[in-house]
Structure 1
Amino acid sequence: MTTAVSGQDFKVADLSLAAFGRKEITLAEHEMPGLMAIRKEYAEQQPLAGARVTGSLHMTVQTAVLIETLVALGAEVRWASCNIFSTQDHAAAAIAVGPNGTVENPQGIPVFAWKGETLEEYWWCTEQALTWPGTPTGGPNMILDDGGDATLLVHKGVEYEKAGAALTSPPPRTTSTASSSSC
C-alpha cells in the first residue's frame, strides 16, 4: 500500500501501476468526447475555481477522466471509491501520480482507493476524501456521490455534532449501509 509520498496526501495499492493507468486514461479520453470537449472549451476560463469537490464514485479510468476534467476546469478534488471491489488500482495510481508527476515525485490528486478494501478501510477512505486540510471549513463545497455513503457520513456527522458527540468511528451498519457494493 502506498501512502503520502513527498507530502502528497493519498493511499493507493501500488504507485508503480501509474504508467499503465496513464495509458488507459489516455485511451478513455478518446472514448469520452463530451468531457474532452468541455475541458478544451472551458479550461482557460476556470469555471470551477474555488470548488472543493469530494468524489465517491467507482475509481476507474473513466472516472479518472472526469477527475482530471474537474481539475482542468479549476476545481480542487479529493476522491474515494464508492465500492470496495470496483477500484482499478492502475487508475488510482495514475490519479495519485498525476499527468506531470512520477512515482518518486507524485503530483496528482488526493485519492484514497484500492481494490479489496475492508469496510473499515472503506469508511476511512471516504472520511479522508471528505477532509480538506488547510481550508476554512475543513470540508468540500460539492460532493459527487454514486452510492450515497459519503453523503451519509456527512449527515451522520451533523447528527453527532448536534448531539454533542464527535463521529470517531464509521456509522453503525444498518440495512441501508450494510453493503458497500450497492453503488
Structure 2
Amino acid sequence: MSATETLREDHLKIKRLEKIIEKCYLDLYAGKEIPLSDIEKITFVISEFLDSIHYSREEDSYFACVASYDALKDEIRKFMIEHEFSRRIAKNISKYLQQWKAGNDAREPVARFLRTYFIYLHDHLKKEEEFFSKAQSKVLSAEEEKEMYEQFQSVMAVSTKIQTIMDQIQYLEEQEWYRIP
C-alpha cells in the first residue's frame, strides 16, 4: 500500500459520509425529523476524520512532500484554502446545531451549512483525486509513497480513531431516517 492509496481509501470513507450529509440536509429541508444526536455524530465525523486525520495526512505529509519538488504548488495552495473553508463550514454547522439544541429553531442554517459542506466535499474530492494521480505518476517515488504510508500507520491512536469513526458512519447508515427514501 502507498500513501496515495491510503488517501484514496480515506476518500471512499468520506464519500459514505457525503451521502449521509446529503440525505440529512434534504430531509431537513423537507421538514422531516432527524435526531439532533445524529447530526452531532455527523459533525463529530467531520471534525475527527476529515480535519484531524485526513487533512492532517495531506497537509503535514503528502502536500509537503509533493511541494518539496517544487511541483503542483498552486494546486496545494488551493487545497489548503479549501481545507480552511471546510473547517469554517463545520464550525457553522456546530454553532447552529448548538443553538438548535438550546431550543432555538436553527433547522434552516443547519440544513444550509450541511448542504454547503456536501457541495464542497463533492467538488473537493474530485479535484483531489486528479491531484493524487498527477502526484503519483509525475512527482512521488515508490520509496516516498512507502515512507509516507508508514508514517500514516505509525500513529496507533489513528487506527483506533478511524475504527470509532467508521462505527459512527455505519451507525448513521443504519438509522431509519437515512434508509427511508
TM-score calculated relative to the size of structure 2: 0.27
TM-score by length of 1: 0.27
User: Higher relative CO (CA 8 A, sep ≥ 6), structure 1 or 2?
Assistant: 2
Query: Which one has a bigger Cα radius of gyration?
Result: 2
